[in-house]
Amino acid sequence: METRRRVAVTGMGVAANNGMGKDAFYAACAGGVSGIRRCTVFSADKLMSPFFGEIPADLPDCRVVPTGETRVKAIMRLALDEMMRDSGLDRAAIEGYGDGAWICFGTLLANADGIMEYAERGCGVGGYLEHVNDYLPWLRGHCGAQGGAWVNSAACAASTTAAGMAFDFIRDGLCDICVVGGADSLTKSAAYGFHSLRSLSVGTCNPYDENRDGINIGEGAAFFIFEDMESAKARGARVYAEITGCGLANDAYHATSPDPNGNGLLFAMEAALRESEVSPARVQHINGHGTGTPVNDKMEIGAINRLFADTGSVPTVTSTKALIGHCMGGSGALELAAEILALEKQAYLPLPNLKNPIESAKEGMLSSKSREREAEYVLSNSLAFAGNVASVAFRRYRE
């Protein structure tokens, strides 16, 4: 029987609205510090809420211009540069892998506001549409990866799906290293879209609380190096965690609403654990999608309860959405970064706005406070429009 390779996470970079850089990001998340604030990159006067997870840095506005660095590229650059420094692999080193260095990237909208600029400025204005999709060649040029390049746009499950694809590629020996990540910036497209769905919270989102009322849209990026475990150890790399499995599903229920029974999510979590060759009882923690919408959170807790029904154990469950908002296609990558760092430190991230836990949550499942824990395995879940579901399993690094 062919031996499959172990997959190590060896570099990390984060650009988030509550902390720039992975260390500041984790400290803010562990301390319950939110990056949700009044939006300044575009007018929110006509929206249900003015509160967005905006990065408070000198970045381009949400418009896409024909030349120069767009907002999403600026955010990607900040996270990529930290990832390369942290991994010990600069552009030249990644280029040295030749076609053995691949890219797996997830995004919902990327440069899509270029379409709005094109429409608003008049169809005769050139230079906008041709730059809507140029983030991928830009990404390849910035990091130096010469091999396969994959962009996943499975809506808000995009970057978790990208991480699962990268896991498969490394495990099965299709590439040597993979630059993995996700990013989205604040866009008028997303803001007005979720406004029209009446899905925005009028204040700050409150995942898994009985009084939850919707989402805050955020922005950010996180990037990682995934590589073969033996190669990582041979080059003396710091190993943050080991990716052990991934499950993908589609509940085929509704264009925007998840299956209330949670069948797609349950299938994805079970698939990730089968691939990891562990039972649900060995999972101590779950990073939930936790949007703070009435339908999602109820469904998600129900699916988790079904997964653990015969185990006699209750996992802790958290969501970063109250801390950084819903960062669209980039959310899964940012959540993976937060939970890998929390696992390394054996800590539980808080749900800072939680006051009245959802009735279906088991005792000890949810907490508004950060706390220490002993954990070996973690699941990180993402759900999305069109029924897309992704779940990635990872474990604490042990030689």
Longest C-alpha distance within the chain, in Å? 64
Four-point Cα dihedral 160, 162, 163, 166, nearest 10:
160
Say which of 39, 143, 156, 246 is annotated catalytic.
156
Q: Which of 104, 143, 285, 289 is catalytic?
A: 289
Q: At 280, give phi and psi (nearest 5°).
A: -55, -30
State the pairing for strand pair 347-348/371-372: antiparallel
3-state SS class at 381: strand
- The answer to whether the beta carbons of residues 195 and 241 sit under 8 Å apart is no
CB atoms within 10 A of CB 171: 19
User: How far does Cα 161 stand from its chain's mean position?
Assistant: 9
Q: Are 22 and 14 spatial neighbours (Cβ–Cβ below 8 Å)?
A: yes
| Cα four-point dihedral sign 129, 132, 134, 138 | positive
Any catalytic annotation for residue 156? yes
Are 254 and 387 in contact by the 8 Å Cβ rule? The answer is yes
How far is residue 257 CA from its own chain's centroid? Answer: 19
Q: Which of 175, 246, 285, 326 is catalytic?
A: 326
Angle at 388 between CA 384 and CA 392, to 5 degrees: 95
Question: Which structure tokens are listed for 270?
Answer: 């079970």
Residue 246 annotated as catalytic: no
* Catalytic residue annotation: 156, 289, 326
